[in-house]
A = this chain, B = another copy of it.
Amino acid sequence: MTHVGVIGGGQLGRMLGLAGIPLGMRFSFLDPGDTPCAAAVGDVVTAAFDDTNAIRGFADACDVVTFEFENIPADLLLGDSSLDVFPPAAALYAAQERAREKTLFEQAGIPVAPWRAVDDQDMLDAAVADLGLPLIAKTRRLGYDGKGQSRIQTAQDAEGLLERMGGVPLLVERLVPFDREVSIIGTRNRAGQTVVYPLTQNVHVNGILHRSETAAFDGQIKRQAVRHFRALVDALDYVGTLAIEFFIKDDLLLGNEFAPRVHNSGHWTQNGAPYSQFDNHLRAICDLPLGATTHCRPAGMINLVGQSIVATELGGDNVFLHDYDKEERPGRKVGHVNVIADQQDQVTRALDALAAQIAR
């Protein structure tokens, strides 16, 4: 029995547990919360994410350690070679800071929108002059779900921006009028074997992922995405599931950000793929052969934000509720619904209907 330790006890941990228990794995979750929702599928060690000693003790008690939450001190993990964590701490370290992330993309040959790191007003002014408007400014750390972002449409927007954004280091980049947002999810295991899932088209609302669906992309888009994925995971000697979000502009993929973990835009794989992104993450970190990503069906996912849906309101024909058993709060992801169908347009229509139902 492999004892898997997961840093973080939220819904991603919960879904990792559900995927791993059939493989005979046991789970422990390190989380600062009293009753994180992953408690349904394992033990919980209550500790802060920056409690070095607690994390070391936790890791010692487990056979393998992974994380489902990115804002843990990568420095701690990097600095302690006895802490064998998958995905590698270097991936976490890069993902935690947007300038490092963009640099990594560039090193891996992944095109990105023109960008500058900005620490003061002079640097901001220079970036505006060099890159042109409009721009988007993002805090370099701790941004997620649209938090810590601000648009610079006019020169006036740039005045006092650093202060308004909390005086923290920023990254500004050209605001790309993209045609669509897509992500690629895939997994690389310890032996270097890699699998990728079909590309997903994503729609965000208020910076939070609203819905994702597999869609028909032409061959050269798919080839770009797969090439970028392989380049990134190989560069990181990555182990686990990873997601890259891209903008598509005129048939060119621009890397936006990546997540060194299972990702919301891959939740559809729970019902639309023989092996989900959670299955493959666990297989990768536990040195198992990866599950094939062939035989995926047209699929989609819609997030339940703020409030869940009553299961009785959902039909039982290719519609699948995944409730996180979390207290409902405005803006909080409390569940998602997956949809599968024979044809992509059926998925789209089913997601449209669900979106209308949720909005009521």
Residues of A at under 8 Å CB distance from B? 1, 14-15, 18, 21-24, 26, 40-42, 270-271, 274-275, 283, 286-292, 294-295, 308, 311-312, 314-318, 320-325, 335, 340
Q: Are A325 and B287 in contact (CB under 8 A)?
A: no
Distance to closest chain B CB from A192 (angstroms): 15
Query: Given the complex, which residues of B lie within 8 Å of A18, measured CB to CB?
Result: 18, 21-22
Query: How many angstroms from the CA of A264 to the CA of B3 in the assembled complex?
Result: 27
Query: Given the complex, which residues of B lie within 8 Å of A15, measured CB to CB?
Result: 22
How many copies the complex holds: the figure is 2
- Nearest 5 pairs between A and B by C-beta? A24-B323, A291-B316, A292-B317, A289-B316, A22-B322
> Which listed residue, B1, B312, B322, touches A287 by the CB 8 Å rule?
B312
Q: Are A318 and B292 in contact (CB under 8 A)?
A: yes
Known: A288-B312, A288-B316, A311-B288. A23 touches B321 (CB 8 A): yes
Known: A21-B41, A323-B24. A316 touches B14 (CB 8 A): no
Query: Given the complex, which residues of B lie within 8 Å of A287, measured CB to CB?
Result: 312
Known: A288-B311, A316-B289, A316-B291. A323 touches B22 (CB 8 A): yes
Distance to closest chain B CB from A67 (angstroms): 21
Query: How many angstroms from the CA of A24 to the CA of B315 in the assembled complex?
Result: 16
